[in-house]
Amino acid sequence: MSKELIEKAKEKFAAIINEQLKRVEALKKEAEDIDYSAVSPIIIGVCFGDGIGEVISKHAEGVLKHLLKDEVASGKVKFKEIAGLTIENRAKHKKAIPDDVLKELKACHVILKGPTTTPQAGGKWPNIESANVAMRRHLDLFANVRPVRIPKEDIDWCFFRENTEGAYILGSKGFDVSDDISIDFKVITEQGAERIIRMAFEYAKNNNIDRVTVVTKSNVVKTTDGRFSKVAFRIAKEYPKIKLDEWYIDIMTAKLLDPARRRDFKVIVLPNLYGDILTDEAAQLQGGVGTAGSANIGRRWSMFEAIHGSAPRMVEEGRDKFADPSSMIRASAMLLRHIGYPEKAERVNLALDRCSGNEKAKITGRETGITGEEYTKYILSQVD
Ligand code: IPM
Ligand code: MG
């Protein structure tokens, strides 16, 4: 019996190793970053997602279209709405991303994506993989860049979360070895760690920031986190003007709450799962997850989204029209910067900054505040 189980487990493990060996070979031959100034038209795909996603991504699309109207008129930019990334359609095809949707996504350059529902075991939907995780893997969106700013406290953090490795990607490849034993895997590769860490250092260099913080649990998770940390210290040698320090994830979550220290962090680079957790905490400090946008950057494609989920409860309670579209509008600003319009991006960010704390633009997620549509109108009145 146990021999049989071991043989079966070995087969599964061998398949995973094979896949990762191939992946690493592909990473070694990775293409250059796309140069958008040479691309025409730049195709922006828009997926609306589920729950509040439908409403808030429509608002964000409106803001983007407004800022890019000249570029659309001249043919430099083209919008393409992509249907089918809804939980109903994904459940019907039993796929995280149905094949025809994936094909359409690949025909774009950048994607604005509304939150999508991630099923869990035992829930009302088939337990398919998260659409976010699948898209990050299929389009090789290795860098999850999540800025968080609290101007009144002089906090300006930029998180670089590794997006294609760690506990996530192999999370859906784990298996029950026996009736009693479940095993998941976590992978960090030299190339995968290097590309995200290098991106964090380049960002620090280009923004005159003299400190990068790597967050791991390398004292306990010695092999994978150990590699991530080693790669960080190797890359740091190429940037003598930037100091690298390492923090463990547990104390780091505490330090983000320490007013005496937290503003000193600037650029933070970390493996997938730690990045997921720490960025929710950071966004909450900024004013809630509804305020934070997120960029998923790859060499060929990039995707921009909210940091939060589809909030089905808000829809059930009929509050979707009061959902805060700021996260998706921030994501749109990141998209604008990414495709070469930093000045337009800045206008959107300034309009959002002006709205936060402004009584006229008070959005609370319920009747006590204005609707997402009214809020978006207010933003549009501020961007020009
Ligand atoms: C995020 C989300 C996703 C993640 C979920 C929806 C799979 O929490 O983008 O942070 O865990 O990556
Ligand atoms: Mg998350």
User: Is ligand 1 within 6 A of the CB of residue 164?
Assistant: no
Cα 132 to ligand 1 centre (Å) = 7
pLDDT of residue 353 exceeding 90, the answer is no
Residue 169 predicted with pLDDT over 80 = no
Ligand 2 (ion): which residues have CB within 5 A? 276
- Mean pLDDT for 302-324 is 94
Which domains can be identified in the chain, with CATH numbers?
39-141+298-384 (3.40.718.10), 149-294 (3.40.718.10)
Place of tokens 């930019």: 77
pLDDT of residue 319: 95
- CA–CA gap between residue 305 and residue 311 (Å, rounded): 14
Residue 130 near ligand 1, beta carbon < 6 Å: yes
Q: Is 50 in the pocket of ligand 1 (CB under 6 A)?
A: no
When pLDDT is averaged across residues 194-202 and rounded to a whole number, the result is 98
Per-residue pLDDT, 331:
97
Ramachandran region of residue 155, left (φ > 0), alpha (ψ -120 to 50) or beta?
A: beta
Q: Which of 328, 362, 314, 364 has its CA nearest to residue 111?
A: 328
| Res 30: pLDDT | 85
pLDDT tens per residue, range 26-65: 999 988 899 999 999 999 999 999 999 999 999 999 999 9
**How far, in Å, from the CA of 129 to the mean position of ligand 1?**
11
Ligand 1 centroid, distance to 7 Cα (angstroms): 34
**Interval 93-151: pLDDT, tens:** 999 999 999 999 999 999 999 999 999 888 899 999 899 989 999 999 999 999 999 98
Contacts of 147 (CB under 8 A, 6+ apart): 156, 157, 158, 159, 292, 293, 334
Nearest to 306 by CA among 322, 288, 293, 323: 293
pLDDT for the residue numbered 120 = 87
Measured from the Cα of 118, ligand 1's closest atom is 6
- pLDDT tens per residue across span 64-78: 999 999 999 999 999
Ligand 1: residue of 276, 304, 307 to mutate (most ligand atoms within 8 A of CB) is: 276
pLDDT of residue 168: 82
Which pLDDT band, with edges at 50, 70 and 90, does 290 fall under? confident
Region 8-22 average pLDDT: 94
Contact 331, 112 (CB under 8 A): yes
pLDDT (0 to 100) of residue 39: 94
**Ligand lying closest to the C-alpha of residue 327:** 1
133 lines ligand 1 (CB under 6 A): yes
- The reported pLDDT for the residue numbered 109 is 97
Residues 6 or more apart in contact with residue 4 via CB below 8 angstroms: none
Kindly indicate the confidence band of residue 358, based on its pLDDT and cuts at 50, 70 and 90.
confident
CB 59 within 8 A of CB 331: no
CA of 308 to the centre of ligand 1 (A): 7
Question: What pLDDT sits at residue 356?
Answer: 76
Segment 223-243, tens digit of pLDDT: 999 999 999 999 999 999 999
pTM: 0.94
Q: Using H for helix, E for strand and C for coil, what is the string for the chain?
A: CHHHHHHHHHHHHHHHHHHHHHHHHHHHCCCCCCCHHHCCCEEEEEECCCCHHHHHHHHHHHHHHHHCHHHHHHCCEEEEEECCCCHHHHHHHCCCCCHHHHHHHHCCCEEEECCCCCCCCCCCCCCCCCHHHHHHHHCCCCEEEEEEEEHHHCEEEEEEEECCCHHHHCHHHCEECCCCCEECCCECCHHHHHHHHHHHHHHHHHCCCCEEEEEECCCCCCCHHHHHHHHHHHHHCCCCCCEEEEEEHHHHHHHCCCCCCHHHCCEEEECHHHHHHHHHHHHHHHCCHHHCEEEEECCCCEEEEECCCCCHHHHHCCCHHHCCCHHHHHHHHHHHHHCCCHHHHHHHHHHHHHHCCCHHHCCCCCCCCCCHHHHHHHHHHHHC
CB burial of residue 154 (10 Å; 0-12, 13-18, 19+): exposed
Please give the angle made by the CA atoms of 222, 274 and 308, to the nearest 5 degrees. 165
Q: What is the pLDDT of residue 369?
A: 93
